[in-house]
């Protein structure tokens, strides 16, 4: 369970990114964090991982306050998560196989054959087995994103996966594909399943995967609810966001008729 208590953070002395944010989320939840660009969404993920420290407030991961921990003590709490960054953040000196198994190499003594098998299994699940020997720069954006997801799921057995703009910058078809993948990978019943937090500004993608939605504005949470509440929100700005959703649905409705 992740719990934020009155977390505030500012960059460059006075640019407030998050302001008194409090919320709770279970590891098995499917949460989407929405908001305009520069609204502090990515910072929120970095705070969960302890990559940055808040200026004030507390962050509890399984009841442990991670804002007080040192870099080496943070390891255990970080390993409950894995993250998929916006650009994929693949290790560009390693090929796809080594990227996917980088966590195995670190923590296990599997033989080369076993590692190879695991890599193939995973890439097969992601539908990119043929790319196993390619280098990251030879892959398309969508494939890079898939490899990054594969790496996030391999090895360290995360309790929760964090997706930072996993679908942005991709064409609708590939984005839809990735959404399907995210959804499939979070299968199972709570509390056993691996949940996720997806940070995005694309509402249409968020509703495809998530069950709970949080909307951030000016560093504060202005909305926290499920899909029905999101549709019927009275917040003017959020309605602009969800407007995209209504349009998409209208088109599909008309086609359906």
Q: Can you give the binding site for other proteins, defined by CB under 8 A?
A: 46, 49, 51, 71-72, 75-76, 78-79, 81-83, 85, 87, 89-92, 102-103, 106-107, 151, 156
Nearer to other proteins (CB atom), residue 196 or residue 215: 196
In 10 A of CB 102, how many CB atoms? 16
Give the nearest distance from C-beta 54 to other proteins in angstroms: 17
Start-end of H helices in 139-171: 141-153
Cβ atoms of 31 and 210 within 8 Å: the answer is: yes
Cis link prior to 191 (omega < 30° from 0)?
yes
Q: Which segments of the chain are extended strands (E)?
A: 2-11, 15-25, 30-35, 56-61, 64-65, 81-84, 160-164, 195-200, 212-217, 220-225
Give the nearest distance from C-beta 13 to other proteins in angstroms: 11
What's the CA gap between 50 and 65, in Å, rounded? 10
Give the nearest distance from C-beta 156 to other proteins in angstroms: 6
Nearer to other proteins (CB atom), residue 33 or residue 221: 33
Nearer to other proteins (CB atom), residue 93 or residue 113: 93
Give the nearest distance from C-beta 99 to other proteins in angstroms: 10
Nearer to other proteins (CB atom), residue 104 or residue 213: 104
């Amino acid at each position: 369970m992740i719990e934020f208590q009155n977390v505030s953070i500012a960059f460059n002395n006075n640019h407030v990114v998050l302001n008194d944010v409090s919320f709770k989320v279970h590891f098995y939840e499917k949460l989407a964090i929405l908001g305009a660009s520069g609204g502090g969404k990515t910072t929120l993920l970095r705070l969960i991982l302890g990559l940055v420290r808040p200026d004030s407030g507390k962050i509890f991961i399984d009841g442990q306050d991670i804002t007080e921990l040192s870099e080496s003590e943070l390891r255990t709490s970080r390993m409950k998560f894995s993250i998929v960054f916006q650009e994929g953040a693949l290790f560009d000196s390693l090929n796809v196989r080594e990227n996917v198994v980088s966590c195995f190499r670190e923590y296990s003594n599997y033989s080369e054959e076993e590692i190879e098998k695991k890599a193939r299994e995973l890439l097969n699940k992601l539908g990119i087995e043929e790319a196993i020997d390619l280098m990251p720069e030879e892959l398309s954006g969508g494939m890079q994103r898939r490899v990054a997801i594969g790496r996030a799921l391999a090895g360290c057995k995360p309790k929760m996966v964090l997706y930072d703009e996993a679908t942005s910058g991709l064409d609708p078809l590939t984005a839809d594909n990735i959404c399907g993948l995210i959804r499939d990978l979070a299968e199972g019943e709570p509390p056993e399943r691996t949940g996720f937090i997806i940070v995005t500004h694309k509402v249409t993608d968020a509703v495809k995967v998530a069950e709970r939605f949080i909307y951030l504005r000016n560093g504060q949470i202005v909305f926290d609810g499920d899909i029905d509440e999101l549709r019927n929100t009275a917040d003017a700005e959020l309605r602009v966001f969800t407007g995209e959703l209504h349009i998409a649905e209208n088109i599909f409705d008309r086609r359906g008729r």
